[in-house]
Amino acid sequence: DTGVSQDPRHKITKRGQNVTFRCDPISEHNRLYWYRQTLGQGPEFLTYFQNEAQLEKSRLLSDRFSAERPKGSFSTLEIQRTEQGDSAMYLCASSSGTVTTASTDTQYFGPGTRLTVL
């Protein structure tokens, strides 16, 4: 059973450019989560999907951020018009939970995509 994978692992971009990250969850995991981690901090929740439905979005997710999970498999996180403050590690996690089993859920994380905005 392969783990959560993320692509790319590193991304360097110039301010104002758009970037897109991809996350492939553990096979058959229903839930997929995005977190952001800045230097010296713990991960902060951004959004999550139950299958293809985006059920919750954090206030951290500004209008420049959009996430999708078509067909309930892989997910993409796009940042438009990047700013230097967007520089961070973007972590994806997946879990097998459903609405009724969420209390016993464990999130498994991928290696992250490190974004640097120049």
Residues that bind another protein (CB under 8 A): 3, 31, 33, 35, 40-45, 48, 55-56, 58, 89, 91, 93, 97, 99, 102-103, 105-112, 114
What is the nearest approach in angstroms of another protein to the Cβ of residue 42? 3
What is the nearest approach in angstroms of another protein to the Cβ of residue 91? 7
Render the burial of 11-30: b for 16+ CB within 10 Å, e for the rest: bebeeeeebebebbbbeebb
Q: Which is nearer to another protein, 92 or 117 (CB)?
A: 92
What is the nearest approach in angstroms of another protein to the Cβ of residue 2? 13
Q: Which is nearer to another protein, 48 or 65 (CB)?
A: 48
How many contiguous H segments (helices) and E segments (strands) does the chain have?
Answer: 0, 11
Q: CA 17, CA 10: separation in Å to the nearest integer? A: 15
Place of tokens 């967007």: 86
Distances (CA, A) of 97 to 31, 33, 94, 102, 116: 6, 12, 9, 5, 32
What is the nearest approach in angstroms of another protein to the Cβ of residue 81? 26
Q: Which is nearer to another protein, 79 or 90 (CB)?
A: 90
Q: Which is nearer to another protein, 44 or 81 (CB)?
A: 44
Amino acid at 2: T
